[in-house]
Structure 1
């Protein structure tokens, strides 16, 4: 099949939501976890985040206390000023950015705080960890806007259907 990511991957991702949901529910966890590191690497050799940045343009990571401390120190701001300037509390009580796209995303899709970015950003899109299986609703949301998640899910389906 080669590289499943093409111009209309988002349509395919939407069309395959039921298949993904079923797969995530029934997957052999240990088998999938063994496959993830290679699939993750393969996905990112085919997907250039700097061409996309959908995650930074449309969604916010959670800013946990260590993230806030680290980033505000880096920006030479008091934590309270950093929070007031950039963050708000969401429905779940987590700090997230006030607006989309992320205020730290440049026009070139580079992150101005990349080395200090929140751990959620560093771990995203979780295609190399058990979050992919443990939080199926998150995976189903992520597959709709992240080509790397789409790539991994398509490859997992393909290998299961062999």
Structure 2
């Protein structure tokens, strides 16, 4: 752990995520059903924690999401990327995408993303797919409804992991009473 309290090492993060499954599920249930904050208040807290963590973690030191997640590429993404390469949308789709039974496109080589450089920089950053622009989804509204995805992304993204851990520190649920009265 660094001086700022953040954990950056993916093997440690994966181990914590694996070890803390029951704790994370319990906290997720508390966050969804019993945390005494409105959705807007919780979203604001998550936004603040995310900004503080993001300020100290550089995605290009990791790039794990680009190496491990299947990236959805919609029609608008394909058209934007095709323009970047000066080819037709259909040519881009044929060259780079596979399409699943639901009609969703994803990079044929995914994972990893074909545009991830050895330096963890995206070769098409300005034109990257929406899924990449939005990941890790911490700035989106209604954290409660997305808390399962957040827990799932803890093992993939150091930013998500550290935001989740700070949320748990800040809102640790009160210990449950055994029902016995102490005299």
TM over 0.5: yes
Task: State the partner residue of 1:40.
Answer: 50
Distance of aligned partners of 1:38 and 1:64 in 2 relative to their CA distance in 1, 3 Å threshold: same
TM-score (ref. length: structure 1)? 0.89
Q: CA RMSD in A?
A: 2.0
Structure 1: gaps spanning 5 or more residues: none
2:17 corresponds to 1:13? yes
2:128 corresponds to 1:124? no
2:147 corresponds to 1:136? yes
Q: SS of the residue aligned with 2:72?
A: coil
**Aligned pairs, how many?**
162
Moved more, 17-26 or 64-73: 17-26
Moved more, 9-18 or 114-123: 9-18
* Deviation string, structure 1 residues 63-122 (Cα, Å, up to 9, x no partner): 111111111111111111111111112354311111121001011111011000111111
Task: State the partner residue of 2:181.
Answer: none
Task: State the partner residue of 1:106.
Answer: 117
Whole-Å Cα distance in 1 between the matches of residues 102 and 21 of structure 2?
Answer: 25
**Which has more helix, going by share of residues?**
1
Q: SS of the residue aligned with 1:135?
A: helix
The alpha-carbon deviation at position 25 of structure 1 amounts to 2.9
